[in-house]
Structure 1
Amino acid sequence: MARSSKPFTPPGVLSTRGGAARTLPKFDEVVGVDPDDPEGLIPLAVSLSPLECRIPQWIPGPGVGRTHTLTLWWRVRGVDVQADSESFTGPLNPAHFPYPLYVPIDFMREIDAEVEAFYTVADQGGSLTPSLPWTLTVDNNPPRFQHPDDKARFVDPAIELSGITEAVLAANPFIEVEIPAYVGRAGRDRVGYYLSNITPPFPPVQKGSQEFPLVTDPLILSIPAEHFRGLINGTAYLQYRLYDRAGNFTLAFSAPMDFQVNLISDPSNLPPPDIRVPAYLDSLIKRDDARAIVAARIPSQYDDFAPGDSVVMIWDGRPVLPAQPITSFPFPVDIPWDILRGPDPLALTEADVRYEIHRPGRPPVPSPSSFFWVNLTIAGQDHADAPALLNATLALVDVVGKGSGLHNELDFRDATAGAEVWVRLYQDPMPGERLELYWNGTGPVSHYEVQPGDVFGQLVQFTDVPGNIIVGGGDRPDLPVYYTTSNQVNEQQSGDTLVNVHAAPLILFDAPLIQHSLHGGGQYLTCQSQPAICHGVYWFIRDDVRFQAGDQIQFFWQGFSKSNWADPIDGTDFTVTVSYITNGQAIRVWPWDTKIEPMRRYASATAEFFVFRGGQVVGQSKVGYVRIDRVFPGSVEPCQPGDANFCESLDDECSGSSG
């Protein structure tokens, strides 16, 4: 074989300056021959092809147009035989060196010959310069048995008598077998042995071999005990072949050594594994199966089962350790998530599943394989708690009331308007993946389908959540809203966004009552109304059993320029908040200049209130309507405080009112 590293060899010199002949260096390499072997043994496999000898460049090479002849020589028993030759016309190309010449195959058919290989370089004038020789050994003579009936024997006489039993193998990790002396023994010879229930062994598969470095070493084979376990109970045979260092070997087997085998049979006829139901009923193992725990099984009892047998299930090359004692059949082995998922990027794969039966003192017995389709891909990034459905790495939704405009809070205004729901997309979104929204555990109530061009972190909107879903989900301060992602195979679930929902239908209270006399067929507030409206417009909120202590009442007034409550007048809106008191209470709209005076001829106003309890709206009143006309009959100008028959007194006629 070639050396893994060799020192630099300078180019050979044909002659000195004075013309004295020089010896060229040895070959750069004899391919297949160990350069450190002092005998230069040519292995048998190498000798079956022309032997390549690689020759370093020599100097000076032939000049331009001149020729040198390179010749490879084979010296055997003092006779030089030309093996190969090549002519070179100068100048030499360093890229061609070391240059190979070859010894023909038939040169290496000599029996146990020590030869020398060397090369010469002849210039155009016939001067010849030789190289140093490389000593080689040709060995075509295999060792041979002294007698045709030479056979091995057990070193231990007790084993000779008992044969191979469980007790023998338990007590002897190695079984010693002695072979008789043979002809042509040399250092580093090797003995290859065969164990079989027939003789000669068929197929002739060598069970093992052992090298004997020195010719003085005892010819005792140490055969691992487990090598005998492949034998069938009854008569068995051990035979061997002899090998020398070159690779020559005896063509015939030795005579057979027969012995008895009486062992407990190894497990056999192992059935291929299956998958415990319900996993794989749909011919695909998914994350919901993993959450329920996937188990690969030995589906039925195998032949020669023995108590104490254990199993290592192997999922796509990943063993489930430690081995588990087999207690019954079918016998399931749970596949942990890290084994099921494996280290590779997620994809649809076909898993090769098999198992090994372990029995103390014996090599594992493998089962046939079964193949199962597995798809653990998800829409969204994977997470540390996989295969759990809840994926805390998914963004939470933002719920926005379409009526209230509030974020993650919904009130009565959203009971009819509904809500928008937004979320930022997960990593690597793929078109066709679907997000589905769940409201208080019910759903899906809304969805979003990933579109081409969607990217990680993009804000997307679900279809709107209608008001009836909001109302149907009930009022609570921490109503959970989440979504699932699906790639049509596996789902993941986001964490909850807790939404403060108080959108139940409001208590409807009676409209506030106007506290003034009204005039005309249209029932107008006029300059003749009592009490006079120059001190404010008074309304009364009647008591109601649905009020509770602590309720806050927010009163609203709005003026309009038309008598049909159209065209609101800027600046006339009025609001005041009062605490609930029993027996009802009066509210005054005030001041005159901004809240009442702008309503002059055939105008109008409305009044209503909302009830707050604990900071949330729980009720509202019907709307109170009133028309306003401040022009006296026969006049064209609206009345003003101080006019005759209108507000001649500046005293407040309803001093107990709020506002």
Structure 2
Amino acid sequence: MASSNGKAKRRQPSGVLPNSVDEQLAPLTALFIPSVLDQNDPEGLLPTGSQLSDLRAYIEEIWENEAIEPYETDIVRLYWGRTAEAMKPFDTLFFDGPVLPSMFPFPVNAPRSNFQGDGAYYVWYTVELDNGARATADPKKITVDTVAPSYDKQPGALLYPDDLPNKVIDEAYLSTHGDRVRLRLPTPIYTGAEDRDTLIFWWSDSPSPTDLWLVQKAISIDDINAEDIWVDLTGDMIRAPNKNGTFYALYKLRDRAGNETLVFSEPASAVVSLLPFPSILPPPRVPLHEDDNLVHRGDARAQVNAVISGLDNLEPNDKVRLDWDGSQLLPVPITLPDTVIPVPWSALIAKGPGPMVAHVSYDFIRDITETGSQVADINVNFTVAGQDHPGAPALLNPLLALVDIIGGSGTPNVLLPADRAAPVVPYLMLYQTPAAGEVLELYWGRVAGPVARYDVQPGDLEGDRVAFTPVPWSVIDADPNNARVPVYYTTSNAVNEQQSDNQYVRVQVVTIDDLPEPGFEDEDAFGYIQCDKKPWEGIRVRVKFDSGHFGLDDEIMVFWQGYRNFNSTDPITETYGEFPETIGPGHLQDGYIDVWIRPYEPYIKPVTRGSWGTYYTLTKADGQFGTSPAPENLKIIETVSPEMCPPA
């Protein structure tokens, strides 16, 4: 263990010169002094005030051939001096063996009484072993500086630029000088200027400011050598008080040791003559947020606007630039009484659909200067039930699957009279990431309001086939014959809705039951067709418009069947045919339409002694549908053929 001189057994070591080194020991490391401001500084400058306390130092490493046995003792002598030469140590330490590496770094103290004013000091140590071997550490230089820059004399006033007329700062000067006024220290430079001194700058409407400094600027040796030390008074600093009048530029100086001039510099006054900014920049308003404390997709479709009002001290070219939660819009001119700024969807959705709080503010801009407003916190929620789409925030989402309408027949999106016996159920392949509690509502044709519903259940997955509640027949009967009833659904998460594209359903659930039967224009009085009607050229089936059901663009389908007998028995398969026609303006004028059955083969020729039966269906343009009765068959005998009929 180590003991200090006078507190352990004493040995009277022989005096040695501190710079003598016995080559038997390796060189010693210099003392480490933590309070030195910069360990790489060869001067070892100490913070001002260090001289008022003992100086703590450390022997960082164990020396070579240290004492190992209890009867061995190593002697450490500590030296202090104005030079690196001293004949008498200020302390002696005895290290009895064993001396261990774990004892290091080993702390030592130099009494504060060693400090005798400002200037340089040296501190070092020697080690002496029992066998007489000695070594000396390199002296560590430390410097004490308690004198402030300018030797604590009041620094001279800062100098305004020569091109600042009458020391009046106005917008014209700032706009042509980079929005700043460059102030310089007077020359010659203050006494005691050193590299890395600090200039501390104030700008105040009082020559004795009590507020905090605005700028701290490091002074370099190059600045000192050039005798050109300056600080910039920026436009923001000048405008911050938001008033005109006389202002003062002042400074203090501080050196690296922390010594600071006790008084401000002489004040340098100037007159500020700027157009005042608005006295307050209140937060923007978002009217669509005010009704329900939320901005959602419905608001986005209606157009979200930010409204800026209540600004005073305005100039004609003043502008504002809206910032919607980090998305900056283009600046716009200020209008009175309100400046209304539309917020695009790209800015609303830039940080995702939410829910979240968007921080909305604006910058007031005058020429090249701008300042920010107070912030409005806006609640937003643009989440949806189902996948989103590129056309958002539009309500219609073409990426949602179409619904299918299934009646009793099982044929998708077709409802006929036979379907009345069963419920009509909408089915859907469920969208992406369904969440329990989301609601799907079905809309049918021109019916106001939803007519069916599905509530998403826990465990529902994308692609599941789910069924809505049945569509009431009273809804279907409101438009019972329509070839294209539009049907769609909406999704809702209780905040936002989306709408699917239309599925078109063919509804023909009420038939026309009083259509006239078709007629054979070429039959004789007994219901036969004879040679003079040339059936090999075709047979006419006439549909007369004897009821009020026929209209322009209605579709007529004539069904034709040949038989081997006169009484609609023993049908000939190959003679069956369907013959469509569309009612045109000429037909309406004539009051009928003729549908020709041809060619001769296969529809007519196979019947040699037999008959043909026919009927038709009417499909109106609005979807109404009906089937006609069938007339008595048209008959033929074998003598009526191209080969057996006499030439005309």
TM-score by length of 2: 0.69
* Distance 1:468-1:115 versus aligned 2 partners, 3 A rule: farther
Closer, same or farther: CA 431–472 of 1 in aligned 2, 3 Å: same
Gaps of 5+ in 1: 1-17, 513-541, 556-573, 584-607, 624-652
- Residue by residue over 1:339-361, the C-alpha shift from the partner in whole angstroms, topping out at 9 and shown as x without a partner, is 222324x3332322221101113
After superposition, what is the alpha-carbon deviation per residue over 1:444-502, rounded to whole angstroms, capped at 9, x for unaligned?
Answer: 11111011122222221111123332343454444332211111111111222333x13
Cα 1:107–1:347, aligned 2, differ >3 Å: closer, same or farther? Answer: farther
Question: What is the CA-CA distance between 1:305 and the residue it aligns to?
Answer: 1.0
Work out the CA distance in 1 between the residues paired with 2:629 and 2:92: 122
| Structure 1 contact 110–140 (Cα < 8 Å) conserved | no
Pairing partner for 2:626 from 619, 626, 645: 619
* Alignment partners' CA distance in 2, 1:481 and 1:60: 99
Between the two proteins, what is the percent identity of the paired residues? 30
Secondary structure, in 3 states, of the residue corresponding to 2:225?
coil
Is 2:355 aligned against 1:348?
yes
- Written as runs of structure 1 = structure 2, the 5 A alignment for 1:448-487 is 448-473=454-479, 475-487=481-493
Choose which of 284, 309, 322 in structure 1 pairs with 2:294: 284
- Residue in structure 2 matching 1:304, options 306, 313, 320: 313
Matched residue, 2:264 = 253
- Among residues 489, 497, 503, which one is paired with 1:491 in the alignment? 497
Question: Cα distance, 1:59 vs. partner?
Answer: 6.3
Kept after mapping to 1: 8 A contact 2:46/2:142: yes
Q: Is the 8 A contact 1:76 1:113 kept in 2?
A: no
Q: Secondary structure at the match of 1:482?
A: strand
Residue matched to 1:39 = 43
> What is the distance in 1 between the residues matched to 2:618 and 2:72?
116
Q: 1:361 aligns with which of 368, 371, 378?
A: 368
> Is the contact between residue 219 and residue 229 of structure 2 (CA under 8 Å) also seen in structure 1?
no
Letter in 2 for 1:22: A
Moved more, 351-360 or 278-287: 278-287
8 Å CA contact retained: 1:84, 1:101: no
Q: Is the 8 A contact 1:195 1:238 kept in 2?
A: yes
On the 8 A contact 2:74/2:94 being kept in 1, the answer is yes
- C-alpha change, 1:486 and 1:353, in structure 2 (3 Å) is same
In 2, the alpha carbon distance for the partners of 1:260 and 1:74 equals 60
CA distance in 2, matches of 1:426, 1:452: 14
**Does the 8 Å contact 1:414/1:467 carry over to 2?**
no
The alignment partner of 1:312 has SS state of strand
Matches of 2:101 and 2:342, distance apart in 1 = 71
Q: Distance in 2 between matches of 1:550 and 1:390?
A: 37
Change (3 A) 1:70 1:274: farther
* 1:336 equivalent in alignment to 2:347: no
Residue 394 of structure 1 corresponds to: 400
Q: 2 CA distance for matches of 1:87 and 1:399?
A: 101
What letter is aligned with 1:370? A
Q: Does 1:201 align with 2:209?
A: yes
C-alpha change, 1:485 and 1:510, in structure 2 (3 Å) is closer
Going from structure 1 to structure 2, the CA distance change for 1:131 and 1:397 (only over 3 Å counts) comes to farther
**What does 1:165-176 correspond to in 2, within 5 Å?**
165-173=170-178, 174-176=180-182
SS in 2 for 1:154: coil
State the shift of 1:251 in Å: 3.0
For 1:408-557, what aligned pairs fall within 5 Å after superposition? 408-415=413-420, 417-440=422-445, 442=447, 443-473=449-479, 475-499=481-505, 501-508=506-513, 545=546, 550-552=556-558
Q: Distance in 1 between matches of 2:411 and 2:167?
A: 92
Q: Is the 8 A contact 1:114 1:137 kept in 2?
A: yes
Aligned to 2:230: 221
CA contact (8 A) 1:190 1:211 kept: yes
Matching residue of 1:22: 26
Deviation, 1:132, is 4.1
Relative to 1, partners in 2 of residues 1:498 and 1:91: Cα closer, same or farther, differing over 3 Å? farther
CA separation of 1:190 and 1:207: change in aligned 2, threshold 3 A: closer
* Cα separation, 2, equivalents of 1:441 and 1:120: 106
CA distance in structure 2 between the partners assigned to 1:155 and 1:505 by the alignment: 96
> How many Å separate the matches in 2 of 1:110 and 1:163?
51
Letter in 2 for 1:299: S
> Distance in 2 between the 1:244 and 1:135 partners?
19
| Structure 1 residue 237 corresponds to structure 2 residue 248 | yes
Aligned to 1:168, the other structure's residue is in SS state helix
Q: Residues 334 and 22 of structure 1: is their aligned pair in 2 closer, same or farther, counting only changes over 3 Å?
A: same
Q: How many angstroms apart in 1 are the aligned matches of 2:221 and 2:45?
A: 16
Change (3 A) 1:582 1:164: closer
Counterpart-to-counterpart distance in 2, 1:350 and 1:328: 29
The residue correspondences of 1:59-70 to structure 2 (distance < 5 A) are none
CA separation of 1:465/1:203 partners in 2, compared to 1, >3 Å: closer, same or farther?
Answer: same
If the length of structure 1 is used for normalisation, what is the TM-score? 0.68
CA distance in 2, matches of 1:315, 1:294: 11
What is the Cα deviation at residue 242 of structure 1?
Answer: 0.6
For this pair of structures, how many residues does the alignment match?
533
CA RMSD of aligned residues (A): 4.7
Shift of 1:81: 5.5
Match of 1:528 in 2: none
1:164 to 159, 163, 169: 169
Aligned partner of 1:539 in structure 2 is: none
After superposition, residues 629-644 of structure 1 pair within 5 angstroms as none
Q: Deviations over 1:43-99 (max 9, x none)?
A: 569999987869357667776999998989684524666699999967646xx98x4
